[in-house]
Amino acid sequence: MQQWSQPQVRAVLYSGLLLLAAGGRLAAAQPAPRVEVHVSADSIRIGERFTLTLVAEHAADATAIFPAAEGPSALFGDLHVFRRGPVRSRSISEARRVDSVAYEVTTFALDSARVPVLPIRLAADRDTMVAGSLPRVVPVVSVVGPDAEGLRAPALLAAFPRPVWWWGLLILVGAVLLAGGAYAWWRWQGPAEEALQDDEESRGAYEAASTRLQQLERRHPTGRQACRAFYVDLTETLRVYMAHRLGIRALERTTSEVLAALRERPEVGETIVRRLRAVLEQADLVKFADAQPPPEESQSVLRTAQDALDALEAARRRAESQAPDDEAIPA
């Protein structure tokens, strides 16, 4: 058995210490992302609007993707989301950045509102990870005053002189006629108004998506971060439209799953699917494969996305106009 000399032993030990120190520096240089939830008020009232802010501290080369306001209702627990503000960013060092988004919310829970774990996707190079906030409970203030000890009995009715009998009969007949007319009008008008409101909200998804794509035309992304943010906004716009207008769960599915769901819709042709496939696959290359297309190519992809959106809306409206009056098109 070969014996090592003392210089050889010292060299091996020194190399091991250097490896341990380098590993410790790498671990310290790449701390885990941190997600926090802040509420604008310590306690709230039922139905009162307040602000919930999601704050993510992460590596500077990662892009934080926050939950959309139009996402699943169960995602925010007992909170109802009205709108989401823009993403605000600030650098705290060369390697770390803080992104935050404010949501306008309310709750109708009693005593306390539960805020579950809110996920944030962090896309960096070819990897995408998900970080979540800690769950918390927001106290809900009772609308009953502090001096109220319990339910109080109703007060006695005030005494009024009795009217002449025929006045009472006339009032009773008039009340019955008014109630009957109001009920008949409600039965006739109610379903039509609900259907019209649903149709307006569904078509409003197309107007909102078109407006957002027009805003993207003014952006000429250069650099990895700007390019990735451009394609994240582009695909999120198309996915939100398909979720609201077509009823496809596009926000939580992969590109291949979304395209497969589109092919199952009879009103969507293969030409539309090919256009959307070109846009979504190009965006996946940018977000997950670190591709950096030039601004001219990004504008071309944006025009393809607008054409696909217009074609989807036109196909949807043709399907609605051709459907019988007693059949509802799923949305």
Which whole-number Å values give the CA distances from 269 to 24, 210, 264, 311, 327, in the listed order?
56, 20, 10, 9, 22
Alpha-carbon gap, residue 59 to 326, rounded angstroms: 55
Which whole-number Å values give the CA distances from 165 to 49, 144, 160, 323, in the listed order?
51, 42, 14, 57
pLDDT of residue 149: 56
0.85 cut: is pTM over it?
no
How many Å is the Cα radius of gyration of the chain?
30
| pLDDT (tens digit per residue) in 294-306 | 888 888 998 999 9
| pLDDT (tens digit per residue) in 304-321 | 999 988 998 998 888 888
pLDDT of residue 99: 93
Question: Could you tell me the pLDDT band of residue 28, with boundaries at 50, 70 and 90?
Answer: very low
Amino acid residing at 239:
R
Least confident of 63-67, 107-111, 157-161, 323-327: 323-327
Question: Could you tell me the pLDDT band of residue 24, with boundaries at 50, 70 and 90?
Answer: very low
| pLDDT (tens digit per residue) in 251-264 | 889 999 999 998 99
Give the side-chain half-sphere CA count within 13 A for 3: 2
Task: Out of 77-86, 117-126, 232-241, 287-296, give the one with best mean pLDDT.
Answer: 232-241
pLDDT of residue 224: 84
Give the side-chain half-sphere CA count within 13 A for 259: 15
Question: Could you tell me the pLDDT band of residue 7, with boundaries at 50, 70 and 90?
Answer: low
- Are 230 and 305 spatial neighbours (Cβ–Cβ below 8 Å)? no
Mean pLDDT of 70-86: 82
Mean pLDDT of 200-223: 82
Computed over every residue of the chain, the mean pLDDT equals 79
Question: Could you tell me the pLDDT band of residue 331, with boundaries at 50, 70 and 90?
Answer: very low
Alpha-carbon gap, residue 120 to 87, rounded angstroms: 12
For residues 245 and 164, the model is more confident at 245
Above 50 in pLDDT, residue 9?
no
Above 80 in pLDDT, residue 114?
yes
For residues 156 and 252, the model is more confident at 252
Above 80 in pLDDT, residue 325?
no
Least confident of 156-165, 167-176, 214-223: 156-165
